[in-house]
Amino acid sequence: SAVKENFVVESLEKKERKSKTPPPFMTSTLQQAASTQLGFSPKKTMMVAQKLYEGVKTDRGNMGVITYMRTDSMNLAKEAVAFARDYILDKFGDQYLPKSAKNYVSSSKGAQEAHEAIRPTRVDFDIVTAKDYLGADELKLYRLIYNRFLACQMTDARLESQTLLFKGEKSTFKASGRKLLFDGFYRVTGYHEKDKLLPELEKGQKVTLDDIKPTQHFTEPPPRYNEASLIKKLESLGIGRPSTYAPTITILQTRKYIEIEKKRIHPTEVAFTVIEMLEEHFPEIVDSGFTSNMEAHLDEVDEGKLDWQKVLADFYTPFMEKITKGKANIKSQKMAIPTGEMCPKCGSELLRRKGRYGEFIACSNFPKCKYTTDLEGNAPPEPELTDIPCDKCGAMMVIKDSRRGKFYACSAYPKCKNAKPLVPPRELDVPCPKCGSKILEKEGKRGKFFGCSNYPKCRFISNGEPLERKCPECESMVVHKVLKTGEVYECIEKKCKWSEAVPEEQLKGQTEASK
């Protein structure tokens, strides 16, 4: 039998190979590594990285301990590399230091490389020192960034791969092994694979087969995406930017398009419904190639290679035609499931629909019949009638509720879609720098912002409060911003980098005035 078969070592091959040093982190690779090694979500990774970037309290004062964390670049400052090389030589010896500094190039599709790679700002702020100043999560992420930065400037690791061929009368078997010869950069990142050593044998040596352990393998479907692998896929397709990876996944979760179970991403029924509808009516728009090409065109506009008006014209005209046609078709098919029950008001069939607040029951005869209930049969509260006439159609305004609070809406909806905030927006004393109209304080999805009252004719907008004072460097408008690190005055022009902290006496005055 095969078990008693004798074998001879037909060949013994040993090959030395190098394990290349990993490149420094950019946003996408940091999010992937933090997900797989630390179990951090992309959102958490960016929140912790933001704290490390903005500054932590040390004996040297408040100090940002990493460079900017939204980047698609692998470039490193020469001074930082020089400090790293000195540290490696001093800490680990010359066998861990390559003859020259290592440079890396981003392979990301459409990389803009406006910033450095993510690295520690000071090599002497090492892990031992950092333990005294950083919280648990901050230390975990800082260790990952710090070690990767050192590793990218160290020597490659050397491994030996071994292959043995055993030849018998009826069959030939192969055995493979591996061992680490020199740890190189693994000295700081850690070597997590165990050596797989083979017995020391010589060519022509006779061996006996003791046992055969058969194993069966089936072809399995590709695994579901986790957050790290999804970001890697988006990056390879050229979709998104360093600043958008984490928010994209967060939005998908918030809108209930995906659920994350045991770190794997599962699309929901809502996602399938939305995708089916979008693919039916807007196949070119939801294609990943469209997003990638659009971002490439926008990059060329930014670089001055393409005219922005032509890019918009080529895209917008056919896009709006598709939108108009698609919306009409979607409206007629709007996710509605017949319930088999009759409307108590008009006798038409009731439908189960999906809205922005979840599922509800509505009459199929809408808008003629506006009967609705929740799934338990509870009717929504009636809007509060006012004596204020609509300035567009003359019907009375009513007070309705939304996710952002109460607002005025026309009672003739959906014929008239006029709506206004319950509390009029605050007017600033500062005129719009573009058209001279009044500037209003408004509330949007992302919080407070300031916009021109002449919208949409004038599209001036600012997330900082415009002030009457002028920038001392370029004479443009100055705005007041409240950041996590404190309050600042800043020039509204992006090209002008002027800014200054709000003086303490002014902060006190503002606090007392607000009381």
Q: Which residues are marked as active site?
A: 68
Q: Find the DSSP H helices in 241-397.
A: 245-254, 269-281, 288-302, 308-332
Report the alpha-carbon distance of residue 319 to residue 95 in Å, rounded.
60
Reported as type and span, the H/E element at residue 231 is helix 227-237
Distance (Å, rounded) from C-alpha 84 to C-alpha 87? Answer: 5
Residue with tokens 């303490």: 504
Strands (DSSP E) found in 105-232: 157-167, 172-182, 206-208
Helix (H) or strand (E) holding 456: none
Say if CB 121 and CB 64 are below 8 A apart. yes
Tokens found for residue 513? 């005035």
**DSSP letter string, 332-361:** HT-SEEEEEEE-TTT-PEEEEEEETTEEEE
Q: What values do phi and psi take at 500, rounded to 5?
A: -150, 150
Tell me which amino acid residue 369 is: C
Residue 396 Cα distances to 367, 423, 424, angstroms: 18, 18, 18
Q: Do 143 and 88 meet the contact criterion of CB atoms below 8 Å apart?
A: no
Q: Is the dihedral of CA 146, 149, 155, 156 positive or negative?
A: positive
Strand partners, 58: 61
What single-letter amino acid sits at 368? K
The sign of the dihedral angle between the CA atoms of 440, 441, 444, 446 is positive
Instruction: Count Cα atoms within 13 angstroms, Cβ side, for 106.
Output: 26
CA 194 to chain centre: 34
Contact indicator for 142, 120 with CB cutoff of 8 Å: yes
d(C-alpha 265, C-alpha 35), whole Å: 13
| CA distances to 45, 285, 290, 301, 326 from 311, in Å | 35, 15, 13, 8, 22
In Å, how far are 138, 387, 389, 401, 419 from 393, measured between CA atoms? Answer: 57, 14, 8, 21, 12
Q: Kindly write down the DSSP assignment for every residue of 24-93, as one continuous string.
A: PB-HHHHHHHIIIII---HHHHHHHHHHHHH-EEETTEEE--B--SS-------HHHHHHHHHHHHHHH-
Q: What tokens does 66 get?
A: 């990493």
- Please report, to the nearest 10 degrees, the dihedral formed by the alpha carbons of residues 468, 472, 478, 484 taken in order: -130
